[in-house]
Structure 1
Amino acid sequence: MITPGIADDIAATVESCRRLDDTEGGSRAALRHMQQQVTEVAGHIRNSRFSDSATRQRTINLWAQLAQTAGWTAMDTGLHTRAHHFYATGLKAAHETADRALTSHILGCLTFQAIARGQHHDALALADAGITAALSAAPAVRAMAAARKAHAHAALGDLTALRRTTDVGLTFLAHPDARDTRPPWLYWLSDLRVVTGQSYITGAFATGAPGTGEARALLAEADPFITGWLGRHAEHIADRDGLLHGAWLARSYLARDQLEHTVATAGSLLQYASTVPSAHVRSTLAALDTDLAARRELRSHRPVQRLRADLQDVTAG
């Protein structure tokens, strides 16, 4: 029989898997561990009796949270089909427990996955569904839903909609209760600066001409969001988020012909890149190498060629 005490133990497992994703996201070993946990909780739900209905509801909701975390790890491992399966499992469980905030969060994860797969119009539709699901949710949940929609607009190169939706998210997060009423799975959301900076960079690159006009101005606006976050959270330099945002920042510098900043930023990241098993990070570093390769005038530039060799070593692994 599943008792409240056993549900507490499952909750501790969910929390440990979140921490594991934070530190080892993209690792196939971490994903195998999470998949085992998802399967075990599913077995409890299918085959066990519960001490009361509240414990059953809680266990199903914890299963949804666990599936979301496993989906995020699978996505960062590059296993998109498996990630989608986990997200679908999480959505079903969140629906069963009438948790619209968690439903919105998982739809936001699906939005991010669709962007990663180049399915930008699907991403926008998923983001809209996430906003609808969050209509009665806490301000931080609504802020995150708006940020996901802003990122979908960014991927489509719609800079006007990107700015408008970003402002909506910032307004929600400015609510005085936003941080105190966050659900536990949104523990990491304290501000939207780095999320906004990443969306601005994504939007500028999606225009196809990031180094010119409004897109160039957007990249300049993104700089303090990313550099300020990295500076205040030095521990992130060595993790997945720091590497991802730092790699995009390096691409942004190159688009604006700030070669010294490009080399310095990318060089500071590469000492950590081999220890972060993230497909998303590797693909962004590979894109930086492609950007550098396209610049004919840099083919005899020794620091750039050394950087390219290091990038290729990391991305090949």
Structure 2
Amino acid sequence: MGTSVGANIKRERERLGWSQARLAREVCRAAGVVGEPVGRQEVSRWETGKRTPREWLPFLAAALSVPVDLLSAPQNPAEPSLPTLADFLPAEDVLEPLSGRAGRRIGIGEVVDLQQRVHSLRLADDVLAGGDLIRPALRDLRRAVKVYRESTYTREVARQLLIQIGELAQIAGWIASDAGQHEEAERIYRLGISAARQAEDHILAGNLAGSLAYQMSNTGREGEGVTLAQAALNDAGLDAPPKARALYLDRVAWAHTKAGGVANGQAAMRALGEAGEALSADSEGTESPPYLYWVDAGELKVMESRVYTELHRPLRAVPLLRGVLSGYDATHTREMALYLSWLAVALADANEPEEAAAVADRVITLGTDTPSERVAERIRVILERLQEFAGVPEVASLLADHPAA
């Protein structure tokens, strides 16, 4: 019973868009109790089946505005739901080492092993989508936190472990976001920021904050995205490695673009220019963190073309995108689909619906077997944009072939 009830509670909570903490408060309010005898951790235990609500079930039903029978009904067999960070980490402060630890003593060798695993996950993310990678990513994150909490080590090894937890959280957060698990990704990013700050790695903390800002900008929290992206840039300072500074500025540019308006558009263009200048300062003798291996001139051109597309300046966007795509690695299916999606929209803005439809068809073909919410969302954007040209035969055929999309 516990597992079915937990799944039902989670489903109804997510239907309302509530966090676990919000549900805990609403349950206490429905029960008319003083204080908060039910907290987020207890809701997490109910949802994962570790505990059964029992006497709290009627108050849960009242808070969620559903019948009690609905919460206790058995689940129909379905695809296993994607895991969450709560499934893999303890409910208490996950970065607090256990008192009286009796675990084995570890050295820098274990840190190097974890570093290699994190890098392997990054490389896998280049060719696989979030839906394929979220389970191993969260398992690795749990394992890293468990080692940190239960083992003994020197102060320097502790710092290096925290850095690897931060790096692992960055890629795991990105993977969760790509799988459409945005609330989960935010929790992971915040865990990583905490780890990076404890390790006093301000560059890594800025990278994590910038990743979270990027997600906010893309999920209807544009104002927060601008604020956080700018804070990440400011905190890193002018001494940040060129690649890191270029990436922070890239995210500032995108945040302003998504915020909309003339002033934000101008701020976006300024940030793009500064990103290019920062990257041009990079040289063979400049050391940047290894996880920024993908930040290069081509990546900045992609962001520039996306900004131009979002600002409805197709004459700038189309040549940039075609240039990037002409030399792009076709094995990176998700990125290829995403970049082509921007080209399709830019072509529609340029009043080239026939060519836009051809590119859109390719995006849909690439996205069919790619479990990426980013790609799915871009397909929806393209098809909505092409509705304006529904009278064009090529567009009409595409819309007829993909009505569900």
Structure 1 length-normalised TM: 0.88
Query: Which residue of structure 1 lines up, in the alignment, with residue 318 of structure 2?
Result: 223
Distance 1:81 1:176, change over 3 A: closer
| Mapping for residues 1-317 of structure 1, pairs under 5 Å | 1-27=105-131, 29-50=132-153, 52-135=154-237, 136-157=239-260, 158-177=264-283, 180-191=286-297, 192-202=300-310, 204=311, 210=312, 218-235=313-330, 239-295=333-389, 298-299=390-391, 301-312=392-403, 315=405
Alignment length (residue pairs): 295
Alignment-mate amino acid for residue 44 of structure 1:
V
Distance 2:259 2:395 in 1: 30
What is the deviation of 1:96? 0.7
Q: Deviations over 1:161-216 (max 9, x none)?
A: 111111111110010428842211111011111121112222x1xxxxx3xxxxxx
Distance 2:241 2:273 in 1: 17
Higher RCO (CA < 8 A, seq sep 6+): 1
Distance 1:308 1:142 in 2: 42
Structure 1 unaligned spans of 5+: 205-209, 211-217
Distance 2:284 2:129 in 1: 27
Distance 1:106 1:178 in 2: 25
Distance 1:90 1:155 in 2: 25
Distance 1:270 1:233 in 2: 18
| Identity level (%) | 26
Alignment-mate amino acid for residue 35 of structure 1:
L
> Relative to total residues, which structure has the larger helix share, 1 or 2?
1
Query: Which residue of structure 1 lines up, in the alignment, with residue 33 of structure 2?
Result: none
Distance 1:251 1:308 in 2: 15
Query: Which residue of structure 2 lines up, in the alignment, with residue 215 of structure 1?
Result: none
What is the deviation of 1:222? 1.7
Structure 2 unaligned spans of 5+: 1-104
Structure (1 or 2) with the larger CA radius of gyration: 2
Q: Deviations over 1:134-165 (max 9, x none)?
A: 21310111111111101111112222111111
What is the deviation of 1:20? 2.2
Alignment partner of 2:145: what SS?
helix
Alignment-mate amino acid for residue 268 of structure 2:
L
Structure 2 length-normalised TM: 0.70
Distance 2:109 2:217 in 1: 40
